[in-house]
Amino acid sequence: MATDEILVERRDALAIVTLNAPGRLNAITASMGEALDSALADAGADPDVRAILITGSGRGFCAGASMDRLEEVMEGPQQLSRSGAQVFDAFSDAPPQYRTRYTAPLAIPKTVIAAVNGACAGAGLMLALACDIRIASTEARFIASFARMGLVAESSSAFLLGRIAGHGFASDMLLSARRVDAAEAHARGLVTRLLDAEGFTEAAIDQAVAIAGETSPRSTRAIKRQLQHAMSNSLTASLDMAQDYVNASLGWPDLSEGVRAFREKRAPLFPDAPRD
């Protein structure tokens, strides 16, 4: 679905998806959400794209759902569904619960990076939590405003926030609905890379381009599955899964290329990952 509120551009093997409604801090409307779904689905299924970066224009990353959207949902809450959206069915190897708007980064078998340039609240926080890597500007701020709005912790927010930043911090953030600045978010592990506000977007893109260009798509896909599996399984189950993947990876062309590139002191040229 085409709209100027979601912009997509390519930088080498990186797809950059920009939420582009700066006048409302990129708060998501129904039409903007559908466009975001399409942009993520297309980039995730494109064999020439090896990583995706999501960011916002202006002063915000995403201030959550727009008030108009909340009122629409209040009038017809039966429209909300636990099942996966059809637009994400290309990622059928992921559980259907992952194949929804704010969990789609979990379903996409590529590295998905949130470049949080400013306000990140509500649905914006859910989207960032579902990404594999969170890079933040020193001017970023994070708000789980559900309790203040009379809502609950939606989607995967309680699960992922607790596992990423710890149960105590998740309880504090979700129950108080307080604002968390970039420095605290970094100290708590909510974001792992903190960059200066000046030149933030280009610096984040440069880091994402390097990730897209220098990592194996097969390895990325497998590691994402390992990380997700580890969140809800035992160490012994994770060790078994890791051993299975190691055995398989010894026959991958990616390993041969990685070794050659290391010996030749050059960037690796990995083949595309096969579709399951």
Domains of the chain as residue ranges with CATH: 6-213 (3.90.226.10), 216-264 (1.10.12)
Q: Phi and psi at residue 65, in whole multiples of 5°?
A: -75, 145
C-alpha–C-alpha distance, residues 24 and 65, integer Å: 10
Do the Cβ atoms of 44 and 91 come closer than 8 Å? yes
Mapped onto helix, strand or coil, the DSSP state of residue 65 is strand
What is the C-alpha to C-alpha distance for residues 268 and 16, in angstroms, rounded to an integer?
22
DSSP helix/strand/coil, 83: coil
Q: Give me 154's structure tokens.
A: 């939606």
Q: What is the DSSP letter of 133?
A: E
pLDDT in tens, 73-119: 556 554 544 445 689 989 998 999 999 999 999 999 999 999 999 99
CA distance 219 to 249: 8
Residue ranges in the chain whose pLDDT is less than 50: 1-2, 78, 80-83
Considering only CA atoms, give the Rg of the chain: 19
pLDDT per residue as tens digits for the range 178-196 = 999 999 999 999 999 999 9
